Amino acid sequence: MSVDPDVLAAIMLMAAGTFATRIIGLWLVQHLKPSRFLEAWLGQVPGALFAALCAPMVVHAGPAGWAGAAATLAVSRLGGGFFLAIVSGVATVALARPLLDGL
């Protein structure tokens, strides 16, 4: 199996670009003090990304998936913790599928 030099060059350049952005980000975090607004905004990014990744799956999951998402949200909001929220969502989907598949 031979390696195309153009493909190898593209892979190496993409790796270098990825490495550079990570190093620059690390350097910026260590040397610059973000404003209070930026700190607050960055604190919201993980939740927003998680919601953006989960929303399409929940929309297309059907009634059992919707029930599982609602159970996960409810347990999470009631302070059950991450693990208990996930377990409740998975259990709800597993129990609801036989009942709600025909809807």
For residues 51 and 69, membership in a common domain is answered with: yes
| pLDDT tens readout for residues 51-99 | 899 899 999 988 999 999 999 999 999 988 889 999 999 999 999 999 8
Least confident residue range of 21-25, 28-32, 63-67, 86-90? 28-32
CA dihedral 10, 15, 21, 26 (to 10 degrees): -170
Domain count, the chain: 2
Do 62 and 46 have their domain in common? yes
Do residue 7 and residue 47 come from a single domain?
Answer: no
**pLDDT above 90: residue 23:** yes
- Quick one: 22 and 8 in the same domain? yes
55 with 80, same domain: the answer is yes
- The gap between the terminal CA atoms of the chain, to the nearest Å, is 52
Residues 73 and 24 in one domain: no
SS3 26: helix
Q: State pLDDT tens for residues 86-100.
A: 999 999 999 999 988
pTM for this one?
0.57
Residues 28 and 41 in one domain: no
- Per the prediction, the chain carries an average pLDDT of 90
Range of the domain at 8: 1-32
Return d(Cα 22, Cα 70) in angstroms, integer: 36
